[in-house]
Amino acid sequence: MSDDLRLVPARAEDEAAVLAFARAMNAEDGHPLDPAGEAAARRVARGEANARCWLMHRTGGAGAVSHIVLTIGFSIQHGGRDGFIDELYVRPEARGAGIGRRLLALAEREARALGFAALHLEVERSNDRARRLYGTLGYADNDRLLMSKRLEPPSGGG
């Protein structure tokens, strides 16, 4: 691993970088980030209680080259507290240098420190490169389909 990289927790002043990574990742996956996603990315940078975010910088470089977001959940099936690697994005020009592995190792260390029983992630079916990486690190297809439903906030202010 190159020692010209440094990993730092995201801070409020990193909001633009976190938002840029979220936009880039979603655009690359073919589904642009909507306003609710943009608001969530801003909350993560500002210290959302149920998420952790780190940025990878090159020493002496201009800005971050990657980020990872870990969210906190709970699962009866998995034995209690669990987490979801909600985002992991490495700029195209920085790929192939082991940054993804380093970010995943950080997420796993943090998950263990938080007492997680399991760690989950989602990957586009067509992203063979990421699927190979995750597989070599022990992540397995659980033969289930992730289904989602966006919930609207309750109306009436109550």
pLDDT tens-digit profile, the chain (158 residues) = 456 888 899 999 999 999 999 999 999 988 899 999 999 999 999 999 999 999 999 887 768 999 999 999 999 999 999 999 999 999 999 999 899 999 999 999 999 999 999 999 999 888 899 999 999 999 999 888 888 898 888 876 55
CATH of the domain at 82: 3.40.630.30
Rg of the chain over Cα atoms, rounded to whole angstroms, equals: 16
Residue 111 lies in a domain: yes
Residue ranges making up the domain that contains 39: 5-136
Q: Are 121 and 134 in contact (CB under 8 A)?
A: yes
Residue 157 lies in a domain: no
In degrees and rounded to multiples of 5, residue 19 shows phi and psi of: -65, -40
Q: For the sheet with 64-75, list strands across it.
A: 5-9, 51-58, 64-75, 80-90, 118-121
Residue 89 lies in a domain: yes
Residue 110 lies in a domain: yes
Length of the chain: 158
Q: Are 32 and 23 in contact (CB under 8 A)?
A: yes
Total structural domains within the chain: 1
pTM of the model: 0.88
- Cα pseudo-dihedral 12, 85, 99, 44, rounded to 10: -10
Residue 153 lies in a domain: no
pLDDT of residue 63: 83
pLDDT of residue 36: 93
Residue 41 lies in a domain: yes
pLDDT of residue 7: 87
pLDDT of residue 3: 63
